[in-house]
Amino acid sequence: MSKHRVALITGAGRGIGRGIALALAGEGFDIAGCDVVYEPENRAAGLFEVQAAVGAAGAEFLPIRADVADLDGHEALLAAVLERYGRIDCLVNNAGVGPKVRADLLEESAESYDRVLGINLRGPFFLTQKAAPHLAALAAREPEARPCIVFITSMSAVVSSIARPGYCISKAGLSMAARLYADRLAGSGVGVYEIRPGIIRTEMTAPVREKYDRMIADGLVPQGRWGEPADIGRAVAALAGGAFGYATGSAVEISGGMDIRRL
């Protein structure tokens, strides 16, 4: 049984998931982080690099091999966290992928579409369904715990990108999933929030880095820079810490001002 708050973060081995893990560790959370890549011998990258970084921040990190798209594995994932810590204070649905190949809307394959939606939408929807009763039970026995669920979606939930149709649809669906869970769980003491990252410097955006460099230089992002995983981490930490306890169902875009309508 952990004496600290505990966060379960999917896709915790790199990028935004890593940034969230470090931010929550800095706020006193112990972390359970899962990823499809599980390489104990690799201490330079992945879950076990994050484990070392979280440990250096004074928190504990439990690495778990899990694929959120595998619905049959959800019970085992939650059981591993509860066996180790006895509680889950915060579920962060972060794991996600883009298409392996960007293709025009009229050329999207069923295979690519199904893969992206399976990981980005179907998986987190059903993982949250399994996790929600555990968070609600924690809220009932420890009202001061303020458990929460955070969905990491994307500005692509509301902005068209015709070369990534499956991705946009998956994030739009996940945005609605966040709102539905916020509605359903509002009376249980579990807050549910959505964060929509903009252009974040991660392994996912690395293949199109030069394109985004040019677009940022041309004024696409009012704040004039890339977002970093730490920017998303700080936002999750604020939500998980209870700073917005009267704002369940809210969506926060962390995009450097890209959501500002400008002439």
Residue numbers annotated as active site = 167
Question: How far, in Å, CA of 37 to CA of 65, rounded?
Answer: 7
- 195, β-bridge pairs: 152, 252
The pair of three-digit structure tokens given for residue 20, joined into one six-digit string: 């969230």
Question: How far, in Å, CA of 25 to CA of 3, rounded?
Answer: 14
Q: Which of 124, 113, 119 is nearest to 97 (CA)?
A: 119
The CA distances from residue 169 to 42, 149, 158, 200, in Å, are 34, 21, 9, 19
Question: How far, in Å, CA of 227 to CA of 229, rounded?
Answer: 7
The DSSP secondary structure of 30-54, one letter per residue, reads EEEEEES---TT--SSSHHHHHHHH
Judge whether 27 and 4 are in contact, CB under 8 Å. no
What is the maximum span of the chain, computed from C-alpha positions, in angstroms?
55
The pair of three-digit structure tokens given for residue 185, joined into one six-digit string: 């769980």
